[in-house]
Structure 1
Amino acid sequence: MTTPQRSKVKVVIVDDHKLFRKGILELVNDFEGFSVAWEAEHGKDFINKLEQDNLPEIILLDISMPVMDGYQTAEWLTKHYPDIKVLALSMHNDDNSILRMLKCGVNGYILKNADPSELEKALRTLETQGTYYSSKVAELAIKSLNNKKKEVRPDLSAREIEFLKLVCTELPYKSFAPLLNIHPRVVESTRETLFRKLEVESRVGLVIYAIRHGIYKIE
């Protein structure tokens, strides 16, 4: 009896440059297990083409686009389709652009001048772990936040501190339960509590907080 083949992860490219889209399309289609379902020129075009019975799993999203840019599109997706993973793929490497996209809820951010191998790594990490941020982006974000005045650290329980330490590893959330000796639902509730308490909206926000406040130290 033959094992049925696993369906490919559906990717959508949202970028206003046609030649760039075509290049990324060929690249992604060459990655094993991934396939570009369709393309869009901007956020509004993406929304118009979106079909309920053919939703993508990952979106490669540019920032600077006409009609509806990457910030607006990311916010719309976070509100209406939070389960769709969004990877920002942009030339913008300034702190403000990166932090703004993170606040809009993207799951990952890499630069357009990244190597193809990093794009493939980003897609696979998004699929398995839910988030991916290049080292360059992480350095910029941490540098920006460290230059700002630190807020008073709220009271954190021992469990929340251990949770933050695990967040800084590459382990998926589902691995936290046995390590912390808690029920998987408690993992979800702890994460949501920390999002509210620390006023962050993503895993990278938790990581940056942990680093800034000495809960996790970069060796």
Structure 2
Amino acid sequence: MKKRIAIVDDHELMAKALSSLVQKFDQYEVLYEVSGGLELMNRFGVGLVPDIVLLDVHMPGMDGYEVAKWLKDNYPAVRVLALSMNDKEEAIVKMLRNGAGGYLLKGCKPHEFKAALDSIASKGFYYTEYITSHLVKSLNSSKGADPITEMGFNERELNFIRMACSDLTYNEIADKMCVSPRTVDGYRESVFQKMDVKSRVGMVIKAIKRNLISIE
């Protein structure tokens, strides 16, 4: 049985090009093309659930990060391959953490696209040469000093970091830690200062790099 694919891309020409390419592969068929996350949700709502979603990252309205997270939460069996022109580490990490099984640059060769589809279909994940040679190396680049000792984290701050690298809101973190939201704000400010970051996303990326958390 052919694997059914949904294409989510707000650029119609790109969506059509992807669809045409997929149709050349015997093992796959394009179920539909949509221009955004809300359209995808509507199709899912009437039972049109594909096996694989080819997902653009940067789209107006509901972007690829949000769509990937929605799929992860509501349809975990649907496999996601992100497609983007953005090769920035932050974008890749965020998509992988939000549930994408692979991240492919739109400028890739057709044979690499086919390899990605085959890997996503059979194993649920696909890591390009860029990710394996550059990103993973980056994520594991700081293996010298113990980061907990080096940055001076206490146990409460470490607990906060692990929770903040999940999908919990800061208020939910406060509830789980049995402290006030103001206390959590204090943990956040302290952690941001010790990590030398200015945002929650920056904290997540640095936590991965320093092996404080891992990508599952």
TM-score over 0.5 for the alignment? yes
Residue number in structure 1 paired with 2:93: 99
Tell me how far 1:200 sits from its aligned partner: 3.6
Q: 2:54 aligns with which of 38, 41, 60?
A: 60
Whether 1:125 and 2:130 are equivalent positions in the alignment is no
Whether 1:12 and 2:1 are equivalent positions in the alignment is no
Q: 1:71 aligns with which of 65, 71, 78?
A: 65
Tell me how far 1:147 sits from its aligned partner: 4.0
Q: 1:31 aligns with which of 25, 50, 69?
A: 25
CA distance in 2, matches of 1:24, 1:53: 23
Amino acid at match of 1:133: Y
Residue number in structure 2 paired with 1:114: 108
Deviation readout 1:111-167 (Å, 9 max, x if unpaired): 101101111111111111111111112223213313457657xxxxxxxxxxxxxxx
- Aligned residue pairs total 152
Residue number in structure 1 paired with 2:173: none
Gaps spanning 5+ residues in structure 1: where? 1-6, 153-197, 203-219
With normalisation by structure 2, the TM-score equals 0.65
Deviation readout 1:153-210 (Å, 9 max, x if unpaired): xxxxxxxxxxxxxxxxxxxxxxxxxxxxxxxxxxxxxxxxxxxxx84453xxxxxxxx
Whether 1:136 and 2:130 are equivalent positions in the alignment is yes
Whether 1:49 and 2:43 are equivalent positions in the alignment is yes
Identity of aligned residues (%): 38
The answer to whether the 8 A contact 2:43-2:49 is kept is no
CA distance in 1, matches of 2:137, 2:214: 17
Instruction: Mark the structure with the bigger radius of gyration.
Output: 2
User: How big is the alpha-carbon RMSD for the aligned residues of Structure 1 and Structure 2?
Assistant: 2.0
CA distance in 2, matches of 1:18, 1:199: 38
Gaps spanning 5+ residues in structure 2: where? 149-211
What are the within-5 Å matches in structure 2 for residues 109-188 of structure 1?
109-148=103-142
Residue number in structure 2 paired with 1:88: 82
Amino acid at match of 2:114: E
CA distance in 1, matches of 2:46, 2:34: 16
Residue number in structure 2 paired with 1:163: none
Tell me how far 1:108 sits from its aligned partner: 1.0
